Amino acid sequence: MAAPAERSVLTEAARDRGRAADVLAAGALGGCAAWALISAAAGGGRPEGVLLAVLAVASGYVCGRICGSLVPVATATAMALVGLAGAVASSQGAFGAAVTVATPPGDAGAVTALLVLAAGAACCAASAARRPRTRSALWVLALVIAGVAILLGSVVGFLATLGVLLCSLAAARTRRRAVALAGFALLTAVVVGTGWAVAEQALPEGLSASLEGQLTQHRVRLWQDAAALAKEHPLLGVGPDRFGDLSAAAAQSPVNDGKPHSAPLQQAAEQGAVGVALLGAVYGGLLFALGRSRCSTPVVLTAGAALTALAALASVGNALSFTSVTAGAGLLAGLATARPAVAPPPAAPAVWQDTAGPTRA
């Protein structure tokens, strides 16, 4: 057992690392807001959507940190139930429009993203629950969420939620969270790189045709327009929310939402290389904060898996265009990086928190 002085030094070092992670995440979000204003001033764009997304993530993150320090398991369970209800409701036409927040009814991207976040919250709560019955009920809830994805016709949602569930189960045996988080970052980079390669038609013909069949030709044309705009305006982009005005593929679509259905490509087209770097910094900052979190490793890796699944969905869809999704992502990240309001006794530490350091399970 560590001596009191040694334990105090380790605790202070963990706090310093946590503060650095908080500063990095806050700086990345602030940079996104500031650069959206700069890009809009240069190109005449409309930065309100970006500012709203930044506000939603920040608000969700703050709420998650507060609730996670007081009632983490209850908050995560409530988030899972609300996310599941929102996904079901948003797929039910007018009824969904009446009860969901900033989520148009029937939008597959929002429905899938909400299911992934709900599954992540349920698995976080299950990983942290003390009572076996409560833990079992929460695992069942995560399975129900995956089943609902099938009932709603979302095969991608089913695979994503099932992947989060399996990662959460495997996280219970994982000791080195940094390696797992690095794997999540690498997976996201592969998905983003593949999407850019599809837009640039840089993949082998057979693989490109296969992916185009899955993505649809219309989405590939949107990506190609975004890549072309990014090449024409590599630094500042054309301005926030201007892709729909300049894309020929978007103009030919009967339902033009003004989005290329890829967050990285949208950032590249509308805010240039700096916008893409800032978007990557937000994701990287959240993973870094998870790596420095005092929460237990299963909770941290479950949240990381859910956020990585969301990042993959956002790379091939418009999931981040919805306030409910961005706020939910911030809330989940806040829950998984929260610190206890009162330090638990050394003899009986809370399951949600990892008092021995950020690298232990």
- Helix (H, G, I), strand (E, B), or coil: what is residue 322? coil
pLDDT tens string, the chain, 361 residues long: the values are: 344 443 443 344 445 556 787 888 889 999 999 999 999 998 888 999 999 999 999 999 999 999 999 999 999 999 999 999 999 988 765 333 333 344 443 477 889 999 999 999 999 999 999 899 999 999 999 999 999 999 988 899 999 999 999 999 999 888 889 999 999 999 999 999 999 999 998 888 888 888 888 888 889 999 999 999 999 999 999 999 999 889 888 888 767 778 899 999 999 999 999 999 999 999 999 999 999 999 999 999 999 999 999 999 999 999 999 999 999 999 999 999 998 765 444 444 445 665 445 544 3
Q: Per the structure block, which two tokens stand in for 16? A: 């310093």
* pTM greater than the 0.85 cutoff: yes
- Paired residues of 353 in beta bridges: 295
Match 């030919």 to its residue by tokens: 252
Q: What is the distance of C-alpha 56 from the center of its chain? A: 12
d(CA 66, CA 331): 10
Contact 119, 332 (CB under 8 A): no
pLDDT of residue 360: 43
37, 271 Cβ separation under 8 angstroms: no
The pLDDT, as a whole number, for residue 98 is: 34
Structure token pair of residue 235: 């630094």
| Phi/psi of residue 84, nearest 5 degrees | -65, -45
Tokens of 328: 């939910």
The values of phi and psi at residue 150, to 5°, are -65, -45
